[in-house]
Amino acid sequence: MPAGSRALKLMPKTPATGLRLAGARASTPPRLDIRGLVTVDAQGGKSSFSFTNLKENIGLADKEFAFKIPARC
């Protein structure tokens, strides 16, 4: 987790897995900027991601995030 950040630990009902988000206080309280995340899978494997130079509200359309269920093969 980046220095000076705070963490939010999200634990599902299966205790072997989880997600932790790291954030730093933004210049406009009470907001936190996401700085990284750590995931733990059911086999105990960990994946860590750090984010730098994030840009917010850059004008992406909502349709870019729409999930469409693929047709069955």
pLDDT per residue as tens digits for the range 41-59: 878 888 988 888 877 778 8
Low pLDDT (below 50) residues in the chain: none
**C-alpha–C-alpha distance, residues 25 and 4, integer Å:** 9
How many other CB atoms are found less than 10 A from the CB of residue 25?
A: 13
- Nearest CA to 2 out of 56, 46, 41, 51 is that of 51
Each domain of the chain, given as residue ranges in start order, spans 6-52
Cite the beta strand spans of the chain per DSSP E.
Answer: 6-10, 18-25, 32-40, 46-50
- Helix spans in 1-73 (H): none
- Global pTM reads 0.53
* pLDDT the model gives residue 24: 72
